[in-house]
Structure 1
Amino acid sequence: MSPSSASPLIRPEELAALESGRDGVTILDVRWRLGGPPGIQSYREGHIPGAVFCDLDTDLAAPPGPEGRHPLPSAAAFQSAMRRLGVSDARPVVVYDDADSTAAARAWWTLRYFGHGDVRVLDGGMRAWTEAGLPVTGDTEAGKPGDFTARPGGMPVLDAGRAAELAVRGVLLDARAAERYRGEVEPVDPVAGHIPGAVSAPTAQNVEPGGRFHGREFLRERFNVLGVVEGVPVGAYCGSGVTAAHEVLALEIAGLPAALYAGSWSNWVADPDRPVATG
């Protein structure tokens, strides 16, 4: 693994080879579901040997508030969490979740934002690992502390004002399910709808049945149809900055870099003066 790798993804067989080769890769289990149950339960029932559990709510986000339901953690808090999990600057990191990489993408993006240069997502997650017949353990891992240094700014971010501007002058993708974009339902946040000018681009369409990402050309065509082409600035948002990180990852696979509105809809609607569109 190296930061010059062509894809931010890694296949189960590739990860297994890294483990057997003792390359010193750090593996983070980021299984998480909105509303629970806590991912630590799945981790304890069985995980990739050597993996350490990473809690999306506490390790990859600050406490919820006006900045959103999953605001970015401070550099100091993130650095402390990653060092506790064994992350080091010079050691590659692989992150995974159950299957579709929604939670893993948040870990990938946050590590990249804070300056780690060699992070990969296990394509297909735990499901792909077990389907490949690779070993699973229930032993709790307690890795040696790492020496990761958090350096913010490694990935582009948007605040509410820049997201609104991008919706007019570029392409702002709404990564939530289409019915949430249209404002027909809103199961989590207090207001339904979308940022005016945003384009609906549900992340479910980034992956195949089973959870693996579609190929580069498929994704590139998908985003081209939505108006994302080279030279046009693009950003993504969702409810709280988790599935939007999955959108940014899919765009990266397609060779189309994008910014993340980390606060996303939960931050947008915290200000009642911000406009809301439906339909």
Structure 2
Amino acid sequence: MKAIITAAQLAHDSTGGDPPVLLDVRWQLSLAKAAGAPAFDGRAEYEAGHIPGAVFVDLDRELASPPGARGRHPLPDTAEFGAAMRRAGVSADRPVVVYDGGQGWAAARAWWLLRWTGHPDVRVLDGGLPSWDGPLSTEVPAPAEGDFVPVPGALGLLDADGAAALARSGVLLDARAGERYRGDVEPIDPVGGHIPGALSAPTTENVGPDGRFLPAQELRTRFKSLGVAQDAEVGVYCGSGVSGAHEVLALAVAGIEAALYAGSWSEWSADPSRPVAVGPDPQ
């Protein structure tokens, strides 16, 4: 099953007899509070114009639990996530397409959660809303209730201990920017650096200037250069389990399965007993 879809294919599929459920998950990691700027409002962006038929999904409220000891974006309660997806019209036998404002991180979070909880057919709009050259709508749809019941476990999931072990026995990729991996800066979490043994692999390098994923072969070459062999056990983490989902998606495009450490650095660094590595080297 393909993990991404082009705008042209989405336009074609949307006019057929079995159009996909469309989810708009516009969201940005914002440092607005620190900078004194207004926070990004995904719902306002959605209401100003979205792909016709798309339903807005709030990442912070519907794709995550409140921040706490498990990180800044802990996994949502399974029952609450299922209810949110059913309200959006998601059913088990109907394809789902997710998009965001173009960065791809929020859409990947929704993709990962739906796939992890057992939905068989979920794709991310490659390039997000900027890739869409069709009409936009300000009409907020009222979809019929879906029937999707989430059953976690279809994709790999790591906890802190599992991530630490994988860094020693397999390949653990850090999807954050290189300066955060090295510990040069840390604008959000309490400590800079990385999980000992993890490799720096910014997910921003998985896409081209237009925000679309690199071709699958280029992605395979990139991950191979990071030590991802065909039979390697692979895991990914980021700051809070959002951009890491984007790297898991990039790996899926390349034909490589990977587990996500959902708590990621925001969970790891909140516990002072956990080791922290700094600098450009994994250890």
Relative to the length of structure 1, the TM-score reads: 0.95
What displacement does 1:42 show?
A: 1.0
- The match for 2:11 among 16, 22, 26 is 16
What displacement does 1:100 show?
A: 2.9
Residues of 2 paired with 1:46 and 1:179: CA distance? Answer: 35
Secondary structure of the 1:267 match is: helix
Aligned to 1:188: 188
* Aligned residues of 1:28 and 1:94 also touching (Cα < 8 A): yes
What displacement does 1:268 show?
A: 0.4
* Aligned residues of 1:100 and 1:207 also touching (Cα < 8 A): no
What displacement does 1:41 show?
A: 1.3
Residues of 2 paired with 1:210 and 1:40: CA distance? Answer: 24
Alignment of 1:176-215 (within 5 A): 176-215=176-215
Alignment of 1:24-63 (within 5 A): 24-35=19-30, 36-63=39-66
Secondary structure of the 2:98 match is: strand
Residues of 2 paired with 1:172 and 1:246: CA distance? Answer: 15
Aligned to 2:159: 159
What displacement does 1:74 show?
A: 1.8
Secondary structure of the 1:192 match is: coil
Question: Which residues of structure 1 form unaligned runs of 5+?
Answer: none
What displacement does 1:22 show?
A: 3.5
Question: Alpha-carbon deviations, 1:132-168, whole Å to 9, x = none?
Answer: x311111112211111111010110000001001111
Q: Give the letter aligned to residue 27 of structure 1.
A: L
Hey, which bits of structure 1, 4+ residues long, moved more than 3 A?
none
What displacement does 1:24 show?
A: 3.4
Aligned to 1:142: 142
1:72 aligns with 2:75: yes
Aligned to 1:128: 131
Residues of 2 paired with 1:59 and 1:86: CA distance? Answer: 14
* Aligned residues of 1:100 and 1:210 also touching (Cα < 8 A): no
1:98 aligns with 2:101: yes
What displacement does 1:203 show?
A: 0.6
Question: Alpha-carbon deviations, 1:214-233, whole Å to 9, x = none?
Answer: 00000000000000111111
Residues of 1 paired with 2:93 and 2:156: CA distance? Answer: 22
Residues of 1 paired with 2:232 and 2:8: CA distance? Answer: 36
What displacement does 1:98 show?
A: 1.1
Secondary structure of the 2:115 match is: helix
Secondary structure of the 2:22 match is: strand
What displacement does 1:113 show?
A: 0.6
Residues of 1 paired with 2:128 and 2:173: CA distance? Answer: 24
Q: Give the letter aligned to residue 45 of structure 2.
A: S
Secondary structure of the 1:184 match is: coil
Question: Which residues of structure 2 form unaligned runs of 5+?
Answer: 31-38
Aligned to 1:217: 217
* Aligned residues of 1:173 and 1:236 also touching (Cα < 8 A): yes
Residues of 2 paired with 1:276 and 1:41: CA distance? Answer: 39
How many pairs does the alignment contain?
A: 271
